Structure 1
């Protein structure tokens, strides 16, 4: 038997948030992560609330959340206070800043627009340092979209055509330039193989980086916003982009590419460093295969694929396994289920009600809101019985569509932080009760 104070299942933003908060409180913490998280597919920005469920846009997310909660009491934001949401986001910024990855927001806490790889503009709240925050009059003479020769995971021409069709950019001069990176051809064994991580390794070589700088200076203008695929990595966050800006005297907007997304990987790497430096134990590549509950609803043991017959026990367990993409939820032809611990689900029993008739509907598809329902302490039920020392956070929760509403990162951080706080409170109460006896 291996015992910890707190066990976290899942290694995405919600899981790392919960684990880091537990470690900060001095708890012996283990994280069980099956593999790469959804951060490898992430924009690298943190959305708090971009739209109400009815599609109404939100400009001031923290002013809008109380209205959201009144209208939709099943929403995960209803399980945490507004103070907890703001506190958790500030705390998250501080955690990443300590690892040299800085996230920024507007001074009045409003959303800003983030130009996406397809040239649309999506609302978000926190962005990395070289992501242009669109709000109000533009501060540049035109847009310069960068194409990388032989690199197919970014489509700058499509992005240019899309963004110039939008009102805020309709009169903005836009053009595309093509750059080459020395050595890229030797990495390609077929036409589709070159990825952002391959280019980042090449650009770590001084000659390749120098060539990129020279081409940018020659082909882009100092008053343009240079829209660059995220292809520059660095062990300490944004330093590579800082150097590029200093060397070229250009203003950049980094856009995530087809996976892997270096903007998302920066955040994941920073969280991993923080977790390791705080003394956390990471069971990477392992998977929880089941759990044991006692008659009182306490989760008494976890079983994992790698530990086999050796049970893992913890005073409190936090489930942060994500949604369908991360296999935190499983869907077959008849039902949606939670496969890790068999927790009770909120879903429609009628499959015809899982989706809208139009795939590209203007409303959220109902299945996106399926998930685990909890009480206000973020505790789920298993076979109808309330779990006493199990807490749930992140995209596995029911009651919201993180993509349509533009709130995935905010919910992950707020509920991850709150789940850890709830677990710590339960542990403190149990300790007091044991001393009283």
Structure 2
């Protein structure tokens, strides 16, 4: 899919695809403009999260109904094949390694896959913010998931080695999972409202400024290229020279990669809380990552209205955190029971979301007002907090 280096160098002047005008383009805005726009841009991000909670992204380059039936069928087919491959691999682990290892594989696979759904929602926000063309999104996802596979192996391998040498680290992982579980569940009970001081979005351009410290970027997309050439006047000679710069597509990839590192704080402790076998933990992560591209496009086509999945994930994280504490204290929960609990929680979250329509859908079917139920609103606000939390972390790194 990528262009060859010879193709890039053959043109003296790149026929670039301009980004659509937008109030918060990736180019850094003057400080005064940034300050005056923050309130409106924060409201825009919140509206975006609320919209993708219903399966639509306003002004996005990938919205529900944009892909044709053939593309949707292809995504469903590919996702089914990846899931089937994971099932067959898990069955092989069950038969040829041990039944316990096989059950651990399926528990880790389901946990990682459920956590990935929330990550994909944030990817959707990032693509919308940078106005990434639909045709260029698969390349970013491919590179992003490839890098994620390498990073997850590194994190899991290092984590396993550390746990073998320092068992109290299990309690640190348990604390991380229990904290994330509480952060996810408490808003559903009206506790732990998000801090207004954190109500900032990607429009602050802190991530952009952070990455721009290390390289120059153009203001235009150039197809699927991560780097392009632009003509620039040499200040010393006054002549026009060609300069290689990164495109906004590469900037988007950098943000995706940085976000995956942040998301690993959930998934890596969760998987290591289920199994410390490197083969089982990494293979379960790898099979979950393989199907994420197809899952992303299905989610963007309106399958994101799983309002009960968020609390189900919170319960899974809490269960695994509690299970780690019990294991550390000498009380081991059978792997079969662990798999049954994880499957039941996630299955209940998905099943309830499909069986019980949201209040907004129910009102529309009755011809009433389009109002959101409290659970749907909390789920959207929780996802917004996740996105804003990622931005806050990156802002801290940029300062």
TM-score category (smaller protein): under 0.3
Greater RCO, CA 8 A, separation 6+: 2
- TM-score, normalisation: structure 1: 0.20
- TM-score, normalisation: structure 2: 0.21
Higher percent of residues as helix: 2
